[in-house]
Structure formats: structure tokens, C-alpha cells
């Protein structure tokens, strides 16, 4: 119940004064309330809990994290050394 699921916002509209959206969860489309993420735009990925977007997924941060992790893995393969991951604030 309390598990959040990421989905892609494919449409935004207003209903009875609430900001609502259609969210695509890998093929399954559901309606969600976007009132807590007023900055949401079509094409954004959002984390949906019980029919509400509680966070927008930051694509830059996702890409950065993956780049850092891949670097660790690659360095590990090449030199078997002790590379340091970034320290996250």
C-alpha cells in the first residue's frame, strides 16, 4: 500500500480545482493527483503513492548516480583498486 511506484506523466488537467495527471506505469495508465508537485510537467517521471505524486524524479541526479556507480564498477574491474565514491551531502 505504502510502496511508491515511479511513472511517467503523459497528460495534465484540472479537476474540481485539483491538479491531476494521467500516469503511465510501463503500459498501465492511471489517474493521479499532482497537487503536491505543482511544478510537474508532461514527460516528467513522478513517484506515485496511493494516487498522489509525492516527488518528481530528478533525471540529472539519476544519471549522475548511475555514472558514479558505473565508474566504481569499471575501475574495480580494471585495476582492482580502491576508488572512492562521491560523498553525498
Nearer to other proteins, 14 or 38 (CB): 38
**78 DSSP 8-state letter:** H
Q: Which three cell numbers stand for residue 31?
A: 489517474
Nearest-approach distance from CB 83 to other proteins, in angstroms: 8
85 and 75 in contact (C-beta within 8 Å)?
Answer: no
| CA distances for 47 relative to 4, 44, 53, 67, 83, angstroms | 6, 10, 5, 22, 32
**Is residue 12 close enough to count as binding other proteins by CB under 8 A?**
no
Number of residues that bind other proteins (CB under 8 A): 43
**Interface with other proteins includes 72 (CB under 8 A)?**
yes
Biggest CA-to-CA distance, the chain: 60
What residues make contact with other proteins under the rule CB under 8 A? 1-4, 6, 8, 18, 25-26, 30, 32-33, 35-38, 45, 47, 49-52, 54-55, 57-59, 61-62, 64-66, 69-70, 72-73, 76-77, 82, 85, 87-89
Amino acid at each position: 500500500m505504502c510502496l511508491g511506484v515511479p511513472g511517467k506523466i503523459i497528460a495534465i488537467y484540472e479537476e474540481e480545482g485539483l491538479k491531476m495527471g494521467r500516469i503511465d506505469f510501463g503500459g498501465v495508465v492511471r489517474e493521479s493527483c499532482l497537487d503536491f508537485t505543482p511544478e510537474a510537467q508532461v514527460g516528467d517521471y513522478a513517484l506515485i503513492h496511493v494516487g498522489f505524486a509525492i516527488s518528481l524524479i530528478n533525471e540529472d541526479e539519476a544519471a549522475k548516480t548511475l555514472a558514479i556507480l558505473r565508474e566504481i564498477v569499471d575501475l574495480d574491474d580494471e585495476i582492482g583498486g580502491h576508488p572512492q565514491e562521491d560523498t553525498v551531502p
